[in-house]
Structure 1
């Protein structure tokens, strides 16, 4: 069978789908001199066993990433009895975990992308652009350098990290983020039953330790925790900087 690709004549002024070349504008990506290699600082951090999440996010923000684009059939021609793509569009790739979490895969180099999917087209982007694309696609996280076979990524940027990159601001662990620290202090100050508090946690997961007045009933404890949780959630800036909140209760 002779397909449309073997019969295509670019000199006739149109692509394989019959769309004219005339009127099209090709623009640069801003990475015209890019060799496709990974940023040395970021690669070093991803390969280290003991790595500070803040350092990784900072390195990602400064690096060029590569996102995969794949061809999808936009129009199928089955007039010959055998369906063939009459027209294809390019689409970004998103992944869905068994728990429903959506992720945007990104790679530090064209080599890492080709190892994962040789058919994917590499598109160089800034980390901010990749993060914004992830949010637009409804992705909670961005995975960096997925291996060829199913397995953990070299690094997964959590929701708070993705939102920080998209906004072009720095990222810090939730318990050390100045906005979060101030927001929690303001909410906790409204509770007379709380004698003091401390913040801890890891990366974007915040642990709020409360020192409570002795003798509170279960209902009163639930009320205090519920009001503090809602107060933190209502602060948009704090919510964007936190991936999860847990409470540890003690007596003053």
Structure 2
């Protein structure tokens, strides 16, 4: 149907070289580190994901995930299109990791705990085994803030979704703790509050959907614009420290009077 020349036109593997003319002989294939992997899910991770949402210990889940193998889906995407016949035909395709847009608008990179889970979601995707850290690094490099695990066939939900702070913790190779218990967040907030004379005290608490709730006890008699300045100053300080910002998924304030 097309007179255009494709990448593999005329190539004969039996001739002893690849499509670029480089001989097969003398090459050494290195292992992936998962040579004996049968594609099954890590039993500990599978057991934790099987629990109801309210019964999951997220800190334990991320810790187990950090030592588990994940499956990242890779799909073919056209990099060159031949239209010489009048009908667009993929002339050259590259392999790329799958990225999605989550319902809340965030970029997402899906990962799977087993080849069976991936095949149920997309039987055409190529399974690539990686460590959780490598998967998280790939997500960060692609600008993906969340990682859904074991997506069900469209439009099904994920078994669990790693929030941005979890993705960063895995990528950095450090332990994940909830932001209201994180010593780095606590220290940065203490410094931010110390810069605000209008704040008499503060407290960190868990907020909805993984958010950090900061309670500020304000001195009485403040005007509305003064309160706004306090909130802006504290929020900007937390957001301005990269190490702190990576540990916070969302931030909410609660105000009380000292």
Report the TM-score when normalising by structure 1.
Answer: 0.90
**For each residue in 1:103-160, what CA deviation from the matched residue of structure 2 results, as whole angstroms up to 9, or x when unmatched?**
0010000000010000111000001100000011111111100001212211111111
Aligned CA RMSD, in angstroms, stands at: 2.4
1:202-217, aligned counterparts within 5 Å? 202=207, 204-217=210-223
* Residue 178 (structure 1) shift: 0.7
* Residue 205 (structure 1) shift: 1.4
The residue aligned with 1:154 is 159
* Residue 26 (structure 1) shift: 3.0
2-side partners of 1:84 and 1:169: how far apart?
46
* Residue 212 (structure 1) shift: 1.1
The residue aligned with 2:13 is 10
| Stretch deviating more after TM superposition (26-35 or 5-14) | 5-14
The residue aligned with 1:58 is 63
1:1-252, aligned counterparts within 5 Å? 9-13=12-16, 18-20=19-21, 22=23, 26-49=29-52, 50-77=55-82, 83-97=88-102, 99-202=104-207, 204-252=210-258
Secondary structure in 1 matching 2:91: strand
| Stretch deviating more after TM superposition (187-196 or 213-222) | 187-196
- CA gap of 1:31–1:123, structure 2 versus 1, over 3 A, is same
1-side partners of 2:222 and 2:87: how far apart?
73
2-side partners of 1:174 and 1:59: how far apart?
19
- CA gap of 1:81–1:227, structure 2 versus 1, over 3 A, is closer
Consecutive unaligned residues of structure 2, counting only runs of 5 or more, are: none
2-side partners of 1:79 and 1:34: how far apart?
44
2-side partners of 1:143 and 1:207: how far apart?
24
* Residue 42 (structure 1) shift: 0.7
Report the TM-score when normalising by structure 2.
Answer: 0.88
